[in-house]
A and B are shown apart, each in its own frame.
Chain A
Amino acid sequence: DGGITQSPKYLFRKEGQNVTLSCEQNLNHDAMYWYRQDPGQGLRLIYYSQIVNDFQKGDIAEGYSVSREKKESFPLTVTSAQKNPTAFYLCASSISGRNRGYGYTFGSGTRLTVV
């Protein structure tokens, strides 16, 4: 079955360390996205990519980096520059690079905790 896979489900990081969250999709979707969710809050956009080798910053890109070398993969690196990285991270993909508003498919998320 096609889908979008995020790993790991839970991740613990020491302060000052970089960590990379994985996101892989086999839906043949052109566009991919990273969102962050804090308790009781909506989703905030970190980065998105509409096509391979291209990506744009979202509202809260500071302290994060991404790459899009393959259509299937959109890893997110949380750097030590991110002041408050503890959060629930969600990856999504959508049907076409034209970024229609429907048909977003989300992964099951990675819960990152800084210890």
Chain B
Amino acid sequence: DAKTTQPPSMDCAEGRAANLPCNHSTISGNEYVYWYRQIHSQGPQYIIHGLKNNETNEMASLIITEDRKSSTLILPHATLRDTAVYYCIVRVHQAGTALIFGKGTTLSVSS
């Protein structure tokens, strides 16, 4: 699986967009980008995933660069409840192994 690099922490004001970057320069053609988040003392929650096209759902948007070497998770209007650790994971869609979670980015949303 390709290695990912995320900043350890980010801050965001409530109501503003939160843009969380992820570098995955060694990603291969059949690897997807997945995002999960973990609110303190809870299990991680799936957010979104994509291959090469931008994706949007009710939680967030995922922007993947044309060369696929980096991506950005966008929370359009961050709230205090979005304070969490966000994990970017790169992996083939169906694999014989489990997801591997790195240290992620701790997003702090403040009023």
Instruction: List residues of A whose CB falls within 8 A of some B CB.
Output: 31, 33, 35, 40-43, 45, 48, 50, 56, 58-59, 88, 90-92, 98-109, 111
Contact = CB atoms under 8 A, between A and B. Distances in A.
Interface in B27-45: 32, 34, 36, 41-45
Contacts of B87: 42
Given A42-B87, A42-B103, A45-B98, A100 B44 contact: no
B98 A58 contact: yes
A108 B43 CA distance: 5
A102 B101 CA distance: 13
B104 A42 contact: yes
Interface in B49-91: 49, 87, 89, 91
Main secondary structure of the interface of B (DSSP, over half): loop
Given A41-B103, A58-B98, A92-B43, A100 B36 contact: no
B107 to A, nearest CB: 15
B43 A106 contact: yes
Interface residues of B, number: 26
Given A45-B100, A48-B98, A100 B93 contact: yes
A58 B12 CA distance: 35
A101 B96 CA distance: 11
Contacts of A48: 97-98
B15 interface: no
B2 interface: no
Contacts of A56: 97
B99 interface: yes
A99 B32 CA distance: 13
Contact of B42 (A92, A99, A109): A109
A101 to B, nearest CB: 5
A43 B32 contact: no
A89 B13 CA distance: 32
Contact of B36 (A59, A104, A109): A104
Contacts of B89: 101
